[in-house]
Amino acid sequence: MAKVTVDGVEVEVPNGASVLQACEAAGKEIPRFCYHERLSVAGNCRMCLVEVEKAPKPIASCSYPVADGMKVFTDTPMVRNGRRGVMEFLLINHPLDCPICDQGGECDLQDEAVAYGMDRSRFQEGKRSIKDKYVGPLVKTIMNRCIHCTRCVRFCTEVAGVPELGATSRGETMEIGTYVEKALTTELSGNLIDICPVGALTSRPYAFASRPWELRKTDSVDVLDATGCNIRVDTRAGEVLRIQPRTNDEVNEEWLHDRGRFSFDGLKRRRLDRPWVKRDGKLRPATWAEAFDAIAARMKGLPGERIGAAVGDLVDAEAIVALKDLMAGLGSHNLECRIDGAAVDASRPDFWRFNTTIAGIDEADALLIIGSNPRQEAPVLNARIRRRTLAGTFPVGYIGPRGVNLTYGHDWLGEGPETLRALLDGSHRFSEALGRAERPMLILGRGALARPDGAAVLAAAWQVASRHNMLRPDWHGFNLLHLFGGQVGALELGFVAPPDLAPPGPPQALWLLGADGFDASRIPADTFVVYQGHHGEAAAARADVILPGCAYTEKEGTWVNTEGRVQRGRLAVHPPGEAREDWKIIRAASEVLGARLPYDTLAAVRARLVEVNPVFARPDRLERRGCEDKSGPAGDPGSLSDAPFALPISNYWQADVVSRASETMAECARVLLPAVPERIAAE
Amino acid sequence: MSFMLRLSSALSGRKIGTDRFGNVYFEGKRKLPVYGRARRWVIFNGPDDPTMVPPEWHAWLHHTTPAPLSETKRYAWQKEHQPNLTGTPAAYRPAGHDYVGGRQRSNGGDYEAWTPGS
Amino acid sequence: MSGAGGYDDARRSGGARIAGGHGRGGQEIGGGWEATHATGNANEVPDQPTSFDFDAESEAALAAIVKRYPPGKQASAVIPALYLVQRQMGRQTGSAWVPRVAMDLVAERLGMPPIRVYEVATFYLMFNTKRIGKVHLQVCGTTPCWLRGSDDVFRACKDAGHLKGYGDTSADGMFTLTEVECLGGCVNAPVLQVDDDYYEDLDYDRTVALLDALRRGERPQPGSAIGRQTSAPVGGALTLIDVPGE
């Protein structure tokens, strides 16, 4: 530790820390453009100048290591003059287009210019102008505004793992760009907009939409993948204008994946905004009363075992518990939350959770990925794996389709379960790497379980974990990576049929709560289907009654991420038309079905959640547990087939019901999906 | 007021012309010392409303052109000049406004609802 | 009015000069190095070939270069590799430049992302990222050469090479003229670098003669044009002439 005095305040910082970090520890704010906590230090903007005792010149604090006994001054005439000079130079080639700049109001350069800028420029020559670059459908570039901090270059190279941005040419002709025009092939490109300190990289869908001070900000949680990124929903006049990440070091740090950030325009298309009832074989608009009457007419009096219910990928825990209680009231045990057919064993939480936790990836020292492409299934989590691979020795084994680019180096072990078998008997070369590791971990993709021998895959993966010392009281290295934000919540609430109770036949009535994306023609023709959800797709078209519900930005809801972390989303905008909160719809339906649910308020529903599973009592907190019980899930590894693993998400941009309705995401899919388009070749 | 304006206009200025709406334009006889140019003004045909001035005369009135532009040379794409209609029955109102008698879309038009078969 | 007018005029002329390029002072020195140097987008470079492959000579040289660096650090060889490309292009097409496909090939061979190669190739002005003429004339315009008459050399290059100015390639594709910064030949200033060779102690006539020879396909002996040995004093040695004690 080094003792540093900053403006008379003595602080202790670790050796090797930078002066800037020492100043922050002392509570002094240092202006900066190129320095970013989660990127490497570049030291090229020179805005963070401070004065150090006995140093003849001001020093750039971001790249200057502390020394014991150092005396730092952050507010002397020398410092202020130095920063003013730097600001004047930065503004030399910066256009004065703040009134038409989308960064206006949240621009670092604007803020610092208030503190250190002059009201006039001494620069009489012409400003340089740079052509705008095309870097994809999400990020808009206005390169005249660029101050060459190279944060975007470092982000692409270090965090996103797609070294495609660079600084070409030199001196006054230096440009940030891809040199060969192309769309950035990363699922994290939206973060470039956040880290750009000026308006050079702005959001294309948000272009000229609003000013930051006009927006109402609502803290929420992203459900479009299972990472559970913390987000802030910015709205104006009942309309979502953008979604930005919130910092949560244990989950998403400060990143957000593109689908979570940009697919919100799908919340305005294909919406279910009124009840529909099928009459004479055709869906017709109806009132809520007519819809409930239709449900009562068909479902009341049905034997419980002939009623079924399924929940989808994005549903909040409140609605799930309400539906579960309603089904219990109707005497039905036919519950299903694994509509993708994944053979998740619901008997013990550590069979379905990401037990190592996302933050725990930093501590792991070997990784085996089975049947998953984290880059597409959880891009933010993948960025953490990548950072771990850069931090030191971290062998990554990968079982899945060949040629997948995970953004970090990995050892491709095989395509299918035969590699699992080899790992099981320890004969595989990667067993040795896992054996050397002290804290090995394994990520099993949910997609690897959605196959006929899914239970065997799960059991085999568990035994691989057990064999390679991943299951210890002090370390749990078995992880299941889910795909969407509502999947774990349903498992935590036990929304599955008891294994020993097989339904006597096909259900006569089926309640689909946001359950979509499966083959609706599998439902028998004479089954009465209630679809409750927010977007219309195949399942809604098949339904006999449609009940319009809320999307994740439109309700107070609880979601559980893949780790089992309970997080709350809050109402940012009101639902469209006559749509209502999902648990309230189920509560109202329970009345007409004669199985009245005992809760009338959100607080009462949440109390019920805690009753069902105490984990819901502690939102945002997650206890890490080791593995106390090594006995594995039901399933026989011997019955593994030889079929290679297929990845569940082939189209990252349109993987869920919201993004499938989004035009932004459709454009992304068009540009980015057919391999990597070489626009230069086409021209 | 109108009489005094006419009188002072006749005394201190000379009439330059009349536009197609009947507004009369004047230019002062002497140059103003500060600006080095003569004053230009208009007597409106009707209530005083600066937006009554058509663009041809507007340019002259603001010293943009030395003489008024031709009022006879018209292009096919040129629309007839209109004064500001705000506050009058002819004011613009968006579709769906009560005064236009239009009916708003039930969903407010800010989202697109799903319908079966779409 | 008049005071403000003078201020405005100064501003306008300053703006015009900068807009014209980076040449110091004169309007005729337009373009500067950026004209031969592509800016940050390969799409704007005309005549990009569709393929490039190392020939046997380059291949052998590359193998020798890569061997100098420890395994995993092959990216260090990027500058010599780009030079190989430029030489080979000069051999094969008569225009020594680095096309984008060649940069991609270098990136692939050295196991580095293509953008890192683009960065290097566009940063160093010695790499031509645009097609140039058969002979690359590089006039040193830094202070010592300028004091010793580099403007005359420049004028001679323009006249004899039928060039419009810095950054221009002659219509017959023979010469490309570039302004470079200090070549380190200040003792024998002014210096003109022709491809890899230095021609020193030039003036207007000697430069014209040099360019005429180059046009004929000759390569005059590089070095001082007035025949002095390396950078020895003009007219022979001045010191250590007599041996002490004789």
Measured distance CA(A554)–CA(C244) in Å, rounded: 101
DSSP A128: P
What residue in B sits closest to A237 (Cα-Cα)?
B110
What is the average per-residue pLDDT within A473-491?
Answer: 95
Helix axes C114-123, C100-110, angle to 10 degrees: 120
What are the residues of chain A with a beta carbon less than 8 Å away from any beta carbon of chain B? Answer: 238-239, 267-274, 276, 282-283, 535-536, 540-541, 576-577
Query: What was the pLDDT predicted at B71?
Result: 85
Interface test with chain A among C17, C105, C106, C122, by most A beta carbons within 10 Å: C122
Name the pLDDT band for A257 (thresholds 50, 70, 90). very high
Give A184-246 as a DSSP string. ---TTTHHHHHH-SSSSEEESTTTTS--GGGPEEEEEE--SSTT--EEEEEEETTEEEEEEE-
Measured distance CA(A339)–CA(A517) in Å, rounded: 8
**pLDDT, tens digit, 9 for 90 and up, residues B41-70:** 999 998 888 999 999 999 999 998 999 998
What is the average per-residue pLDDT within A508-532?
Answer: 90
> What does the block give as tokens for A326?
């309603």
Domain ranges across chain C: 36-123, 135-224
Per DSSP, the three-state class of A379 is helix
Query: What was the pLDDT predicted at C128?
Result: 92
Query: What was the pLDDT predicted at A675?
Result: 52
Question: How buried is residue B16: exposed, middle or buried, by Cβ count under 10 Å (0-12/13-18/19+)?
Answer: middle
Name the pLDDT band for A603 (thresholds 50, 70, 90). very high
Closest CA to A400 of A421, A415, A420: A415
Domain C36-123 identical in fold to domain C135-224: no
Question: How buried is residue A186: exposed, middle or buried, by Cβ count under 10 Å (0-12/13-18/19+)?
Answer: buried
Q: What share of chain A is helix, strand, coil (3-state, %, to 5)?
A: 35, 20, 50
Look over chain B and give the mean of its residue pLDDT values, rounded to a whole number: 86
Query: What was the pLDDT predicted at C16?
Result: 35
Rg (chain C; Cα; Å): 22
Measured distance CA(A384)–CA(A394) in Å, rounded: 12
pLDDT at A380 over 90: yes
List of chain A residues whose C-beta atoms are within 8 Å of the C-beta of residue C113: 163-164
**Using CB atoms, which residue from C11, C43, C122 is nearest to A680?**
C43
Distance of CA B66 to the CA centre of its chain: 20
Which contiguous run of DSSP H or E holds residue A333? none
- For residues A285-295, one letter each, b for 16 or more C-beta atoms within 10 angstroms of the residue's C-beta and e for the rest, the string is bbebebbbebb
Query: What was the pLDDT predicted at A73?
Result: 96
Place of tokens 């009231």: A329
Query: What was the pLDDT predicted at B106?
Result: 60
B64 touches chain A (CB under 8 A): no
Please check whether residue A565 is in contact with residue A226, taking contact to mean a CB–CB distance below 8 angstroms.
no
Per DSSP, the three-state class of A403 is coil
Query: What was the pLDDT predicted at A676?
Result: 42
Interface test with chain B among A274, A516, A660, by most B beta carbons within 10 Å: A274
Query: What was the pLDDT predicted at A501?
Result: 67
Topology classification of domain C135-224 = Glutaredoxin (3.40.30)
Name the pLDDT band for B96 (thresholds 50, 70, 90). confident
Cβ neighbours of B62 (radius 10 Å): 10
Query: What was the pLDDT predicted at A242?
Result: 95
What residue in B sits closest to A268 (Cα-Cα)?
B111
What residue in A sits closest to B108 (Cα-Cα)?
A577
Q: Which of residues 494-513 of A touch C (CB under 8 A)?
A: none
The pairing of beta strand C175-180 with beta strand C135-140: parallel
Interface test with chain A among B111, B112, B115, B118, by most A beta carbons within 10 Å: B111
CA dihedral of A274, A280, A282, A287, whole degrees rounded to 10: 0
Judge: A536–B114 Cβ closer than 8 Å, yes or no.
yes
Query: What was the pLDDT predicted at B100?
Result: 77
Q: Do chains B and A touch (3 or more CB pairs under 8 A)?
A: yes
Which contiguous run of DSSP H or E holds residue A683? none
pLDDT at A682 over 60: no
CA dihedral of C84, C87, C88, C93, whole degrees rounded to 10: 150
Judge: C41–A179 Cβ closer than 8 Å, yes or no.
yes
Measured distance CA(A158)–CA(A573) in Å, rounded: 36
Interface test with chain C among A120, A179, A185, by most C beta carbons within 10 Å: A179
pLDDT at A285 over 80: yes
pLDDT at A683 over 50: no
Measured distance CA(A551)–CA(A266) in Å, rounded: 10
Per DSSP, the three-state class of C161 is helix
The pairing of beta strand C223-224 with beta strand C197-200: parallel
The one-digit pLDDT tens for each residue of chain C (246 residues) are 333 333 333 333 333 333 333 333 333 333 444 444 445 677 778 888 999 999 999 999 999 999 999 998 999 999 999 999 999 999 999 999 999 999 999 999 999 999 999 999 999 989 999 999 999 999 999 999 999 999 999 999 999 999 998 989 999 999 999 999 999 999 998 999 999 999 999 999 999 999 999 999 999 999 999 888 888 888 877 888 887 776
**pLDDT, tens digit, 9 for 90 and up, residues A624-633:** 889 988 898 9
**pLDDT, tens digit, 9 for 90 and up, residues A226-242:** 999 999 999 998 889 99
Measured distance CA(A211)–CA(A106) in Å, rounded: 9
List of chain C residues whose C-beta atoms are within 8 Å of the C-beta of residue A680: 42-43
CATH number of C36-123: 1.10.10
Judge: A169–C43 Cβ closer than 8 Å, yes or no.
no
Cβ contacts of A66 within 8 Å, gap of 6 or more: A2, A4, A13, A15, A16, A17, A18, A19, A21, A22
Per mean pLDDT, which range of A21-35, A98-112, A335-349, A500-514 is the poorest?
Answer: A500-514
How many angstroms separate the Cα of A474 from the Cα of each of A360, A469, A615, C198? 12, 11, 21, 71
Measured distance CA(A322)–CA(C175) in Å, rounded: 82
pLDDT at A680 over 60: no
Query: What was the pLDDT predicted at B104?
Result: 63
**Using CB atoms, which residue from A273, A282, A541 is nearest to B113?**
A273
List of chain A residues whose C-beta atoms are within 8 Å of the C-beta of residue C117: none
Could you give the angle at the alpha carbon of C51 between the alpha carbons of C47 and C57, nearest 5°? 110
pLDDT at A130 over 60: yes
What is the average per-residue pLDDT within A264-276?
Answer: 93
**pLDDT, tens digit, 9 for 90 and up, residues A24-60:** 999 999 999 999 999 999 999 999 999 999 999 999 9
Cβ contacts of B80 within 8 Å, gap of 6 or more: none
List of chain A residues whose C-beta atoms are within 8 Å of the C-beta of residue C115: 163-166, 178-179
**pLDDT, tens digit, 9 for 90 and up, residues A186-215:** 999 999 999 999 999 999 999 999 999 999
| Bridge partners, A5 (sequence order) | A10, A71
